[in-house]
A and B are shown apart, each in its own frame.
Chain A
Amino acid sequence: MLQTRVIPVLLLKDGGLYKGVKFKNHKYVGDPINTVKIFNDKEVDELVLLDIEASRYNKPIDFNLLQEIATEAFMPLAYGGGVRSLEDAKRLFSIGFEKVILNTNAINNMELVRQLVSIFGSQSVIVSIDIKRGFLGQYRVYKKSASFKTKLNPIDFAKKMEDLGVGEIILNSIDNDGVMGGYDLDIIQRVTKVLSIPVIACGGAGDLEDVKEAKEKGASAVGAGSMFVYHGVHKAVLISYPKYEKLCELFEEN
């Protein structure tokens, strides 16, 4: 039986790992290579790495760092942040990543999404959608690391990405990010209902019960940041990941 994937989502900035709250106030949590080594030892299901400044400040992709990370990681790896061309994607695949994540560039350049899918296959293309709820309860898609609001509705946009052949959607709630109070279950349910491709729920996980709820609302996989890098009420940095047996028990999968 296929198991629900539980995926640490790590944020890169200037060669370090950071974690913020609601996409702001990012605090340094450690060295990415060491952290990936720890996650490797803990046998995590998969890892997502996002460069939070690459798109926003138009920075190049740090291929050297990513290559070092890939040689330490024997699990599926996905990278997002400033992926602008087929060449970028090709280089990421050649150093050992198997999935590229588009966010800003999926909104700005759908032709790139289409080409990536046709050349590298659906399974290697993820679109990450950052969403925020407005005053009247309507959701909007944001880009450039949540610094720019678009007119796009997340459900329509996700469906459009599926139609383009994208293999997975990361649905990331800006409001819930780093708060550790649970996922935005309402939007997870609404998006997963209309899609047939897997959705990775992201933003808000505080404990394993939150993770379980997201799965029950239709998420095929769950991503979390704070939960795996912080410990306790004072948010001391401590890398952790639940044991395999514990996850089997949680999801009642065996």
Chain B
Amino acid sequence: MITIIDYGMGNLGSVANMIKKVGGKSLITSNIEEIKKAKKILLPGVGSFDNAMENLEKLELIDILKDKVLNQKTPIMGICLGMQLLTRGSDEGNLEGFGFVDAFTHKFKFEDNNLKVPHMGWNRVKLEKKSKLFEGMGEQENRFYFVHSFAVGCQEKEDVLTTTSYGYSFVSSFEKENIIGVQFHPEKSHKFGMRLFKNFVERY
């Protein structure tokens, strides 16, 4: 059972659809008691950084999520803004992120004016280390759908799971112990996303 955190930020339906497609079960909730029982946590998110942290605060979910992730070592996967929230903070807002991973979220800045922001569309990811999340996926053909204007930079190189190139190379996913963040949308990335979700369902 995967517990999908509902904090009013974006597209939970498509994540639940995808989990069902790969044979998993999910529960969409903002209930603290339910989250206490969670075996695996998914933190999706579309919207702005401060708005997201404020919503989590209002729902009193910040402490429980910290306890689950840091003390109980419950696997968590943040998607898109959800990944960014797992970092220390973002150029986009003033509030602190969870800081589970020593990383910060920066605004895309390019020398090349032809590159549009948001980075929107399909792009490749380059695997930087071995992970159960990418098991069974060929190195060459991993493509995912991205939509974001801010991108993560990791302090610790060993936390970086994949990188992607858009103007420069940024961290398109990280994995540190039980903590995973993906900048792309696996729930919207066909067989590539299916494989990733299947791995998260079955191997974590």
Contacts and interface: CB of A to CB of B under 8 A. Distances in A.
Contacts, number: 90
Contacts of A5: 121-122
B11 A43 contact: no
A75 B190 contact: yes
A70 B121 contact: no
Given A2-B120, A98-B188, A123-B148, 15 more contacts: A1-B124, A3-B121, A70-B17, A74-B188, A74-B189, A74-B194, A75-B188, A96-B11, A120-B46, A121-B46, A122-B118, A167-B118, A196-B116, A220-B120, A221-B121
B145 interface: yes
Nearest to A123: B147
Interface residues of B, number: 35
Interface of B: 10-14, 17-18, 21, 46-48, 116, 118-124, 143, 145-149, 165-166, 185, 187-191, 193-194
Nearest to B81: A121
23 contacts: A3-B121, A4-B121, A5-B121, A5-B122, A45-B122, A74-B17, A74-B189, A74-B190, A75-B188, A76-B145, A77-B14, A93-B11, A93-B13, A94-B12, A96-B13, A96-B14, A120-B47, A121-B46, A121-B48, A122-B118, A168-B120, A220-B121, A221-B121
Dominant secondary structure at the A interface: loop
Interface string A82-122: 00000000000111111000000000000000000000111
B187 A70 contact: no
Contact of A123 (B12, B21, B120): B120
Given A96-B11, A96-B13, A121-B46, A74 B124 contact: no
B119 A2 contact: yes
Interface residues of A, number: 34
Interface of A: 1-5, 40, 43, 45-46, 70-71, 74-77, 93-98, 120-124, 167-168, 196-198, 220-221, 244
B13 A123 contact: no
A244 B191 CA distance: 13
Given A75-B190, A96-B11, A123 B18 contact: no
B56 to A, nearest CB: 17
